């Protein structure tokens, strides 16, 4: 919080790009998913995971859904997965939205916000990139048109490791 205010005080400068984070092991969790039963993060070691926190009421989230679906389809064969962590208090709201914007990647329900708290989600949507060793490597806050180029760069980097 203090960091945020300090940043605000010094200037209203633009912070470009996703801030890189030192290798921090991702907190483990298990969540029920829409089609794939219970999913546990630590069981995905060896895969690059993009945890995307989203909500049905969030416009930019809806906008990036199809793009995430494309990324998932394209890089899944080389060891990459998108996990969509839905934060809606009522999972039915999420399902209603998914019936309009269907996706193939796993959708997990965090209706109690436990995992959102665990990862300290600071923006909607938020994307957390986890490498093959289970470390959090990048956090991308928000979504703006064109951000998918950034995602691609990060994914390519992580799957090559």
Partner 1 sequence: MAATKKSLESYCAPRFGGRRCWSASPGVSSRTLSALRALCSGAHQIAFARDALKRFLFGLVFVVSPVVNAAVLPEERADTLYHSYSGGGVTIDGPSILVRKNIGNTVSLSANYYVDMISGASIDVQATASRYTEQRDEFSLGADYLVDKTTMSLNYTNSSENDYQAETVGFGISQDFFGDLSTLSMRATYGSDDVMRNGDENFLEHAEHRRYSLGWSQILTTKLIAELSVETVSDEGFLNNPYRSVRYLDPNSGTGFSYQAELYPSTRNSDAVALRAKYMLPYRAAVKTEYRRYADSWGIEADNLEFRYTHPLESENLILEGKLRFYKQDGADFYSDLFPYVNATNFRARDKELSDFSSTAIGLGVAYQVPERWALFNRKNTLNFYWDYILFDYENFHDVRVHQGGDSSYLPGEEPAYSFNAHVVRAFWSMWF
Partner 2 sequence: MIKRVLLLLPALLLLGGCESIMPEPWVKPYERHYLADPIMSFERDPVAAGFMNHVYEAREAARGAEGGSGGGCGCN
Asked if 45 is part of the footprint of partner 2 (rule: CB under 8 A), the reply reads no
Question: With contacts defined by CB under 8 A, how many residues of the chain interact with partner 2?
Answer: 31
11-20 burial: b if 16+ Cβ within 10 Å, else e: eeeeeeebee
Alpha-carbon separation of residue 118 from 7, 68, 80, 112, 129 (angstroms): 24, 22, 22, 11, 15
Residues in contact with partner 2, shown as a per-residue x/- string from 55 to 84 under the rule CB under 8 A = x-xxxxx-----------------------
Residues in contact with partner 1, shown as a per-residue x/- string from 83 to 122 under the rule CB under 8 A = ---------------------------------------x
H or E stretch covering 127: strand 126-130
Query: Footprint of partner 1 on this chain (CB under 8 A)?
Result: 1, 4-5, 8, 11-18, 122-123, 140-142, 144-147
């Amino acid at each position: 919080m203090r960091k945020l205010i300090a940043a605000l005080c010094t200037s209203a400068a633009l912070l470009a790009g996703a801030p890189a984070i030192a290798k921090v092991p991702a907190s483990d969790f298990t969540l029920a998913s829409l089609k794939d039963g219970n999913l546990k993060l630590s069981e995905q070691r060896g895969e690059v995971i993009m945890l995307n926190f989203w909500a049905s009421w969030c416009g930019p989230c809806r906008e990036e859904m199809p793009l995430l679906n494309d990324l998932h389809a394209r890089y899944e064969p080389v060891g990459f997965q998108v996990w969509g962590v839905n934060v809606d208090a009522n999972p039915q709201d999420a399902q209603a939205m998914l019936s309009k914007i269907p996706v193939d990647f796993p959708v997990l329900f965090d209706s109690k916000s436990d995992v959102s708290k665990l990862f300290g989600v600071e923006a909607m949507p938020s994307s957390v990139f986890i490498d093959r060793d289970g470390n959090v490597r990048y956090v991308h806050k928000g979504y703006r048109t064109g951000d998918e180029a950034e995602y691609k760069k990060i994914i390519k980097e992580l799957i090559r490791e």
